[in-house]
Amino acid sequence: MEKYIKYCKVPKDMELIFMEQATSDDEVLAKAKDADFIFADAIKEVSKKLISNMPNLKLIHSEGVAFNKIDIETAKKLNVYVCNNRGANAGAVAEQTILLMLGLLRNVLDGDRKVRIGKQIETKERMMLEGVVELADCTVGLIGFGAIAKETAKRLNSFGCKLYYYSRRKASDEIEKEYNVEYKNLDELASECDIISLHVPVTAETTNMIDEKFLAKMKKTAFLINTARGEIVDGEALKNALIKGELGGAGLDTLSPEPVKLDNPLLDIKEELKYKILFSPHIGGTTEGAFRRMHQGVWENISRVSAGEKPINVVNGV
């Protein structure tokens, strides 16, 4: 975005071409076929066609952490670096994760609505009788244990939560001690946690990993939090679990596909169930501080490649 250029070291002789996210490959090639670098929104597809027809291309850089929309194999074959901004928005996304947890525990959507229609005291009395659970009394499971999960763990430790995690690779004893976490396999995590929070990238392995079978293993009172990517959750399975009362609720910063349309199954849910889902518009990592750090990271990598050096956070093995 143009507003963050002032924080970055942009070479004065570099020509910048700005395009909308919806710009087609043909339009990009018509305007910028000879470009050396692509600076892409994390949800913008960078296709084989585009990469193959830009002869000067040296680097494709995701603005954020995700890179699943970039054809990394084609880029690798053509010796084009693909990089992301790993960790740059970790604190921001962790804050959003905590927000969704607290919002569900305190039922903020329904509470706000009831106050606005003059039913404050009735709602207070009902919630007192039903019981409001504190975050401190929750066992939280983190699926994935990268930068965002670690920042989330830091914040949850401040609340006093019991923390478990699952990752393909178990962390060292030192890391587990530092973040006060304990390793569990996925089945244990699903069955033992009051809140499960997703922090994995989109891969063939993680796509729809939160499916009917996984949700059936969760506590009926448990909450699912997704500030990673919508593709990780089977939306129909989640909707059905909520309808059947097999899950306490869900806090979702991301849905699939994006942009989200009104025909998304999780938007088409009965009135009495809609407050079991707390949505946010994929803003977890979009704070000003995160954008500033991400844009600085992109331009630092562009400078490295321009100087004949290897960039950092390469994700395609070049």
- Catalytic residue (one of 176, 188, 192, 258): 258
Question: For this structure, is 229 an active site residue?
Answer: yes
Pair 259, 61: CB distance under 8 Å: no
Pair 226, 254: CB distance under 8 Å: yes
Question: For this structure, is 95 an active site residue?
Answer: no
- Catalytic residue (one of 199, 229, 293, 295): 229
By the 10 Å C-beta count (0-12 exposed, 13-18 middle, 19+ buried), 217 is classed as middle
> Quick count: other Cβ atoms within 10 Å of Cβ 152?
30
C-alpha distances in Å from residue 160, one per residue of 153, 155, 180:
10, 9, 10
- Catalytic residue (one of 61, 199, 282, 295): 282
Pair 196, 189: CB distance under 8 Å: yes
Tokens (6 digits) for 81: 């670096």
Strand partners, 198: 143, 226
Sheet of strand 249-252: strand arrangement: 182-183, 162-166, 139-143, 195-198, 223-226, 249-252, 277-279
> Would you please indicate which residues are annotated as catalytic (active-site) residues?
229, 258, 282
